[in-house]
Amino acid sequence: GENVEQHPSTLSVQEGDSAVIKCTYSDSASNYFPWYKQELGKRPQLIIDIRSNVGEKKDQRIAVTLNKTAKHFSLHITETQPEDSAVYFCAARDDKIIFGKGTRLHILP
């Protein structure tokens, strides 16, 4: 079955710097790759997603890249702000959705 590996598990960056979170997946049939953000004590919320026919997608300070050949995709957050502090989950979906174990992002003042 599908397996999604996410790295790093914890990431600390200075406010204003960029953050990158990487995920790899095992099932080449996966065709949908969403990213969810979960703030402390709150429910996960979709921040960006990408489909397998697209290599890159950007939404303001957030971008996601997908390399189908290597079976990995990454989340890039530029000009980080305190409100970016949260746990981020990547996921891959073919017939069912499988999440990575999450990355706890700390934005340092």
What are the residues binding other proteins (CB under 8 A)? 1, 6, 31-32, 34, 36, 42-46, 49, 51, 89, 91, 93, 95-102
CB nearer to other proteins: pick between 14 and 96: 96
Q: How far is the CB of 16 from other proteins (least distance, A)?
A: 28
Q: How far is the CB of 83 from other proteins (least distance, A)?
A: 19
CB nearer to other proteins: pick between 46 and 108: 46
The 3-state secondary structure of 48-97, one letter per residue = EEEECCCCEEEECCEEEEEECCCCEEEEEECCCCHHHCEEEEEEEECCCE
CB nearer to other proteins: pick between 40 and 109: 40
Nearest to 40, CA basis, from 90, 108, 102: 102
CB nearer to other proteins: pick between 99 and 106: 99
Residues 6+ apart with CB under 8 A from 40: 86
| Token representation of residue 102 | 């999450």
